[in-house]
Amino acid sequence: MKNDRQNSSLTRRNLFKGAAASAAAAGINVITSEASEAQETPETYDAIVIGTGFGGTIAAIALKESGKKILVIERGTFWLTPETLGLPVPPNSPGNPIAQYARDRQMQVQYWPRPDHLLGLIDLLANRYEKGHPQRRYGLHNYRMFRQAHVLTASGVGGGSLIYSNVNLEAKPDLLDRIGLKGIDYDRAKKFMTTYRGRMSAVVTKIPLPPGVTAEQLSSQIVNRDYLLLDRSRALRDAANDVRGQLGIGVEMENWKPLQLSINEYIHDENTTADATHTFCERQGRCMLGCLPAARHTLNKVLFVKALRGNDTRVTLSPESEVRTIDRVDTSYDVTYFDRRNNSEKKKIARAPQVFLAAGVLGTTEILLRSRRDGGIQFSDKLGSGFSTNGDFGAVANGTKRRTSDGKTAKMSVFPTRGPINTCDIRFKSGNQYFTIEDAGIPSMFAKIVHMGLKDRQALLALKDWTSFVGGDTSSTTTSLYESIRQRLSGGKPQDASKDRHATEAELIDDVFFFNAMGEDNANGQFTLKGDDLDLDWPANDPIGGQKCFTVVEDMIKKLSQAMLGEYTPLPTWEGLSGVFKEKTLIVTHPLGGCRIGPTMGEGVVNEFGQVYDGSKKTSDPLAIHSGLFIVDGSVIPGALAANPTLTISAQAIKTVEKALGRPLDMK
């Protein structure tokens, strides 16, 4: 990976920072000598936005358009494609305008991991986010390993949009009613998405659809353009049709549908954003790693165009900055943060009458827990409770096959390395619980690891320092990890020369179908602070892996795998890996809750408009709020959505921002 800033050498300052990090891990409040030199007078703004994900972007754009002077604080850096798009760049062109904006302001710019094979995996692992690590504090992927679940989030300008799968899906109305989420206007959320980000597209085919053919028409198996479908999209459609007739009483399955994705797609005979941006989806199967053609509607681009570009000084962006605490000062709030740009660590304080927390489920909850502990500001006793995995569950069907005309079976290639990460879904209801199962891509750089794990799980376990491989705190050097992978995958033991040694990444796993599922868990995870770090656990009598929704969805995936004539294979975390993680450990990509909505502070941390309850008045006024303090991210969602949560989070954020501004947002 290329980086616009050279790694700093080991200095006395960095040694001191390391000691400070160790002390913080032990729960001791310390700051570095440089960081202690904070300005005495806080910088003042009309509003402060913490985080640049969906809620943060909505807030920042709306506040700017209202003429507010705002500070936007982001822990990560800019992430962009390293590739030149479309037409050749003119000789005197300044290049990527976002990169130029960042460089002009001495902000770091980083580029998506590549290439799309094993070396890209090394690049990805070497540049993951790791709290306290002087070089990895700006990594893109933040993989947190808790006892019963691992949580994947993003760190960068644009938040979760940098690694999410582009899906815009509505939760069911009765589910929203059941968890107490009111006033969700999906039409307005979609309007915001299309107005500020771009047209949504259905991408289920190998090429952009020709004139006269729609993605919805391909739900029928009799359409003569069926061959245009991506192989894995077709495989899920056909398997769902087979399984639907086998379902028992109380289980209802909807028809297969293409997903609506926030991606540029080329549309014949129309002037589209593809023509304006010179790019469209190339079906590279790596949305979660960064889109090399830059066809995804990531929020770094939206923020730049709508809030940062030009000479307008109303919006100040502070990337590479970590918020520590929020404290109330009369009718305003002081936000204390570390600005780590330019290899320094400066402690700063910003003050504003309005603060919008959009640091994500883990970030926002951690900031508020630390603020309550260290600053004295009081919140609801429910702070940290009600975490939901959104029922996230993954598994594969290995060795997919099809039936031939003579009654035998033959290999059925589904090519998970092609297409967007998610292209289509089936939704079903079991009892009163909802579930969604989507196809999922496997990026090419993971192909050899996946192939090895499916063929020989013990060989996968033999990789040096597994904790380092999955992104935990214990790390071996990149060189050691690379050598271990190289030996195992390239020459450590004899392999079939006709397949393993010479196959492309796509061919290695072409018969592996990856299921991405969501459901309704009990939303009873509990966040606490352990020293200076966030911890997550579940009640001993209701561990997350034993909750009913996972039994139901696993059974459905087994049926779909059987319909594909493949072998159901759970993820290694679900099976358990001795010494690394225990059986039935989940991987969560859609975390929700921790600062959940509730009708009073006895049931929640915020009210339905995202206004934070004032815990100092919990006995006298259970509806009292900290005026001007809002949360606009997924931490407020009070339960599982059984669907990709982006659209719901955005709809809730719009409702909150409109409450803060006292008027509807202009989405013309």
Reported as a pLDDT band with limits 50, 70 and 90, residue 362 is very high
Q: Determine the Cα–Cα distance for residues 57 and 197; give it in Å rounded to an integer.
A: 11
User: Three-state secondary structure along 293-362?
Assistant: CCCECCHHHHHHHHHHCCCCCCEEEECCEEEEEEEEECCEEEEEEEECHHHCCEEEEEEECEEEECCHHH
Residue 13 has a pLDDT of 33
Residue 590 lies in a domain: no
Characterize 99-133 residue by residue with b for buried, 16 or more Cβ atoms within 10 angstroms of its Cβ, and e for exposed.
bebbbeeebbbbbbbbebebebbbbbbbbbbbbbe
Of 603, 637, 638, the residue nearest 623 (C-alpha): 603
Reported as a pLDDT band with limits 50, 70 and 90, residue 10 is very low
Residue 27 has a pLDDT of 37
pLDDT, one tens digit per residue, over 197-216 is 889 999 999 999 888 888 87
Q: What residue numbers bound the domain in which 485 lies?
A: 230-260+389-583
Residue 467 has a pLDDT of 45
Reported as a pLDDT band with limits 50, 70 and 90, residue 556 is very high
> What is the per-residue DSSP string for 530-571?
ETTEEEEE--TTS-GGGSHHHHHHHHHHHHHHHHTT-EEEE-
* Section 618-625 average pLDDT: 96
Residue with tokens 């879904």: 425
Residue 635 lies in a domain: no
Of 289, 357, 362, 263, the residue nearest 58 (C-alpha): 357
pLDDT, one tens digit per residue, over 391-423 is 999 999 999 999 999 989 999 999 999 999 999
> What total number of domains does the chain contain?
1
134-148, 403-417, 460-474, 517-531: least confidently modelled range: 460-474
Residue 430 lies in a domain: yes
Q: Looking at the predicted structure, is the pLDDT value of residue 473 above 60?
A: no
Residue 599 lies in a domain: no
Q: Looking at the predicted structure, is the pLDDT value of residue 70 above 90?
A: yes
Q: Determine the Cα–Cα distance for residues 95 and 88; give it in Å rounded to an integer.
A: 11
Report the Cα 383 to chain-centroid distance in Å.
22
* Section 371-399 average pLDDT: 96
Residue 471 has a pLDDT of 41
Residue 482 lies in a domain: yes
Mean pLDDT of all residues belonging to the chain: 86
Report CA torsion sign: 86, 87, 88, 92.
Answer: negative
Residue 569 has a pLDDT of 96
* Section 103-131 average pLDDT: 86
| Residue ranges of E strands in 155-275 | 251-253, 257-258
Residue 458 has a pLDDT of 65
Look up residue 429 and give its DSSP letter.
E
434: part of which helix (H) or strand (E)? strand 433-440
Residue 268 lies in a domain: no
> Of 216 and 634, which is predicted with more confidence?
634
- The proportion of the chain whose per-residue pLDDT surpasses 70, expressed as a percent, equals 84
Reported as a pLDDT band with limits 50, 70 and 90, residue 33 is very low
Residue 410 buriedness (CB in 10 A; 0-12 / 13-18 / 19+): exposed
Q: Determine the Cα–Cα distance for residues 48 and 506; give it in Å rounded to an integer.
A: 46
Residue with tokens 């019963």: 148
Q: Determine the Cα–Cα distance for residues 153 and 162; give it in Å rounded to an integer.
A: 10
Residue 222 lies in a domain: no
Residue 26 has a pLDDT of 36
Q: Which amino acid is at 288?
A: M
pLDDT, one tens digit per residue, over 247-265 is 887 899 999 999 999 999 9
In sequence order, what are the beta bridge partners of 335? 326, 350
Q: Looking at the predicted structure, is the pLDDT value of residue 16 above 50?
A: no
Residue 480 has a pLDDT of 53
Work out the end-to-end distance of the chain between its first and last CA atoms, rounded to an integer number of angstroms.
39
Q: Which amino acid is at 205?
A: T
* 614 φ, ψ (degrees, to nearest 5): -95, 105
Coil/strand/helix, residue 460: helix
Reported as a pLDDT band with limits 50, 70 and 90, residue 323 is very high
Residue 35 has a pLDDT of 47
Residue 245 lies in a domain: yes
Q: Looking at the predicted structure, is the pLDDT value of residue 541 above 70?
A: yes
628: part of which helix (H) or strand (E)? strand 625-631
